[in-house]
Structure 1
Amino acid sequence: MKSQAVTLAQSVVVGGVKWQLYPADFKTIEGTFSVYLYALNREHAAAILLELKETAVLRDGDLVGITRND
């Protein structure tokens, strides 16, 4: 299986608003892993993370590619 690195910008501007990248760590029996999300500030990132914890579901199928949308 060929792996590909993904590079994320530290911040992005969308509609004139700056979004910062925030890491979130989670622990499983396999170890500690990280996900990254964009938010307006740390409090916003915490709110997004809470919403993810309450509503996230795994999509059907495997990831077949990554496309930039900028």
Structure 2
Amino acid sequence: MCNKAIPLARVAVVHGLQWQLYPVDFKTEKGTFSVYLYAINREHAAEILLELKETAVLRDGELVGIDCND
């Protein structure tokens, strides 16, 4: 099993705008988990989270592109 981390920049500049990384926590019967999203500010992050709640779907397949040399 590959346990390689996926590095995330705390800040990314896209088209001259600074996007910051915001943590989002959610609870399930199995515990509390986190995901992260980029937004311009906290209010923008809240808007993105609302859109995620309304429209998110799980893609087919698995994440591709992380190499492990165990």
What TM-score does the superposition give when structure 2 sets the normalisation length? 0.88
Structure 2: gaps of 5 or more residues: none
1:12 — aligned with what? Answer: 12
Query: How much does 1:49 deviate?
Result: 0.3
4+ runs of 1 displaced by more than 4 Å?
none
1:29 — aligned with what? Answer: 29
Higher relative contact order (CA 8 A, sep 6+): 2
Counterpart of 1:11, as a letter, is V
Query: How much does 1:24 deviate?
Result: 0.4
Matched residues, number: 66
Structure 1: gaps of 5 or more residues: none
More moved, 3-12 vs 31-40: 3-12
> C-alpha deviations, 1:38-58, integer Å up to 9, x for none?
000000000000000000001
Q: Report the aligned-residue RMSD.
A: 1.0
State how far apart, in whole Å, the 2-side matches of 1:61 and 1:13 are: 29
